[in-house]
Structure 1
Amino acid sequence: MATIDIQGVRHAYDLTVPTPSTPVLVFIHGWLLSRGYWQPLIERLAPAYQCLAYDLRGFGDSQLCQNSQQSDGKTLALAGSESASVAVSRYTPAAYAQDLAILLQHLNISNAWVIGHSLGGSIGLWAASQMPECVKGAICINAGGGIYLKEEFERFRSAGQQMLKLRPRWLSYLPFIDLLFARAQVARPIARVWCRQRLIDFVMAHPEAALASLLDSTTEAEVNKLPQVVSQIEQPVYFIAGARDSIMAPKYVRHLASFHSLFQVDGDNVIEIPDCGHLAMLEQPDAVAGAIRSLLDRHA
């Protein structure tokens, strides 16, 4: 694990060795998760592509501290970016995309494809929009939406807030409690090691980051921005959906995908994986890795 200070927060990341192939694959995890969930995919893809996985601000090993200087709605500028300074709140997908821009600049990565899961998919789309000179394409896994259903989003936000109130750190020491995560949001039970990791990430996520990233990413205004963002991205954008995803059903994945030009040109830019829930990179790593290779080959 390596670290870098980004806007006052120490960010943790893992970077595999360079390979002759380009681009660099940049993996962005979802809400209440961490970079470790990408390991099955990285093991399959790293022989051909250099891979970067990092923890979002406030999650995993990128923990906030009392001295962290957060943006809090201030205008942030991307050094060397074609995009102008953008006023953002501290936990929107756009704000997290600007963290990623700083990380890529620090690592001198100028040719990347972003691969994001769930919330990480939204962050990846914003990164593609903000950094077209650097991000050459995006692949969203178990990510979609772009349609605001008031009652459903209110229930989701309320349930998320209640869940965040019930996560004392001693919870991770209770025997067998991690087994609650074995079937949560997935089509088939995941391995015990991932149950344990989900429990750890659940209780360790910083309270401010966990709550604010949930609320800031699910407002009506933020949800309605996504189709606009997707429609303006000129780089290739693809979506990988789980056929049995109860969090982001394939119909909502296709809805957001339909706003990109590839949907009209190629007829479809969505790959649907059978017998797969909301954690495709753990449930079906071979299928997901194969899909990623195939998509990258199209643009080699």
Structure 2
Amino acid sequence: MATIEILGVLHAYELTAPTSCPHALVFIHGWLNSRGYWQPVISRLSDDLQCLSYDLRGFGESQSQVKTDFSRAQTSLSLMPTSNSALGSPIDSLYTPVAYAQDLAILLKQLNITSAWLIGHSLGGTIALWGADQIPECVKGVICINAGGGIYLKEAFEQFRSAGQKFLQVRPRWLSQVPLIDLLFTRASVVRPLDRHWARQRLIDFVVADPEAALGTLLDSTTEEEINRLPELVSQLKQPVYFLAGAEDKVMEPKYVRHLASFHRLFQYCGDNVLEIPNCGHLAMLEQPDEVADRIRSIVISH
């Protein structure tokens, strides 16, 4: 594991060796996850394509708080490229998808990655879309995995936010030491039970996530304003955007994936930017790593 400082915050990351392909693959994990979930896919791709995975601020092994007393907003303005999008807006929270996209832009700049495909899971998919908007000269395309939406259903989102807050309240550090507790994480949000190793990792990531970051990302990414901005964001992106949907995903159902994808020009013209993975739930990169890796390779090479 390597670390790099972004706006005063240490981030953990892993970068594989360069290859003959000019584009790097940048993997962005979802809520309460960490970079390790991408390893089954990266191990299948890294011989042909350089792969970068990192822990989002406040998750995994990345810190949450700025160690110094400078203003994040002022510093980000001086380091960030200027977006041409009418959707660009100042950061009013540390935990919006836009704020995390700015972290990503600075990370790529500091690692001298000038040509990248962004691959995001769930919340990471939203961050990837904003990354494509913020640094279009660097991002050549986006692949969203188990990510979609763009329809704000008031009652459903209020219930989701309430349940999420209650979920976060029940995670003392000693929870990870309770015998067999990790078995609960073998079945959550997946079609077939995960290997015990991954259940253990899910439990660890759930327990160690910074409380402010965990709650902040939950609340700031599910507001009515944020949800309603997604279709407009996708419609304005000039890069190719693909969506991999789990056919049995109950967290982000395929119909919501197809809805968001429909706002992109590729879907309007030829309809091939939504790829459904059979017998797959909400953790496609763990449930179907061969299929996900093959899809990613095929998409990137085709462009």
- Tell me the TM-score normalised to structure 1 length: 0.96
Structure 1 Cα separation of the partners of residues 70 and 125 of structure 2: 22
Distance 1:240 1:70 in 2: 39
Instruction: Report what 1:221 is aligned to.
Output: 225
Higher mean C-alpha displacement, 73-82 vs 215-224: 73-82
Matched, 1:40 2:40: yes
Rounded to whole Å, the distance in 2 between the matches of 1:174 and 1:223 is 37
d(CA) in 1 for partners of 2:110 and 2:246?
A: 34
Equivalent residue number for residue 137 of structure 2:
133
Return the alpha-carbon distance in structure 1 between the equivalents of residues 148 and 271 of structure 2: 17
Q: Deviations over 1:92-130 (max 9, x none)?
A: 001000000110000000000000000000000000011
Q: Distance in 2 between matches of 1:220 and 1:73?
A: 23
1:160 aligns to 2:164 (yes or no): yes
Partner of 2:4: 4
d(CA) in 1 for partners of 2:70 and 2:265?
35
CA distance in 2, matches of 1:161, 1:70: 30
CA distance 1:6–1:167, change in 2 (3 Å):
same
What does residue 97 of structure 1 align with?
Answer: 101
User: What are the superposed Cα offsets for residues 243-268 of structure 1, whole Å, 9 maximum, x if unpaired?
Assistant: 00010000000000001010012223
State the 1:63 CA deviation: 2.1
Q: 1:66 to 1:298 in 2, by over 3 A?
A: closer
Q: 2:298 aligns with which of 270, 294, 297?
A: 294
- Structure 2 CA distance for aligned equivalents of residues 19 and 256 of structure 1: 33
How much does 1:298 deviate?
A: 1.6
Q: 1:188 aligns with which of 186, 192, 198?
A: 192
Distance 1:78 1:49 in 2: 31
Determine the C-alpha separation between the residues in 2 that align with 1:75 and 1:92: 17
State the Cα distance separating 1:82 from its structure 2 match.
3.6
Shift of 1:66: 7.1
Contact 2:27 2:119 in 1 (8 A): yes
> Aligned in 2, Cα 1:66/1:48: closer, same or farther, shift over 3 Å?
closer
Indicate the percent of aligned positions where both proteins have the same amino acid. 67
Closer/same/farther in 2, CA of residues 68 and 39 from structure 1, 3 Å limit? farther
* Residue in structure 1 matched with residue 116 of structure 2 by the alignment: 112
- 1:200-219 paired onto structure 2 within 5 Å: 200-219=204-223
Give the alignment's Cα RMSD to 1 decimal: 1.6
The CA distance in 2 between the partners of 1:86 and 1:253, in whole Å, is: 25
Unaligned stretches of 5+ residues in structure 2: none
The residue identity in structure 1 corresponding to 2:90 is A
Does the Cα contact within 8 Å between 2:7 and 2:66 map onto a contact in 1? no
Report the Cα offset of residue 67 of structure 1. Answer: 2.8
Alignment partner, residue 272 of structure 1: 276
SS of the residue corresponding to residue 87 of structure 1 reads coil
2-side partners of 1:109 and 1:34: how far apart?
21
For residues 276 and 10 of structure 1, the distance between their equivalents in structure 2, rounded to whole angstroms, comes to: 34
Q: Deviations over 1:64-112 (max 9, x none)?
A: 2473658677784263624278411210001000000110000000000
Deviation at 1:59, TM superposition (A): 0.2
1:64-103 matches, cutoff 5 A: 64-65=64-65, 67=67, 76-77=76-77, 79=79, 81-83=81-83, 86-88=89-91, 89-103=93-107
Q: CA deviation at 1:187?
A: 0.6
Distance 1:13 1:38, change over 3 A: same
TM-score (normalizing by structure 2): 0.95
Task: Report how many residues are paired.
Answer: 299
Indicate how the Cα distance of structure 1 residues 74 and 48 shifts in structure 2: closer, same or farther if over 3 A, else same. Answer: same
Q: Which runs of 5+ in 1 are unaligned?
A: none
Give the Å deviation of 1:22: 2.3
Residues 76 and 86 of structure 1 are in contact (CA less than 8 Å); yes or no, is this contact kept in structure 2? no
Residue 143 of structure 2 aligns to a residue whose secondary structure is strand
Of the three residues 282, 285, 288, the one matched with 2:286 is 282
Answer yes or no: is the 8 Å Cα contact 1:241–1:253 preserved in 2: yes
Give the conservation status (yes or no) of the 8 Å contact 2:189–2:281: yes
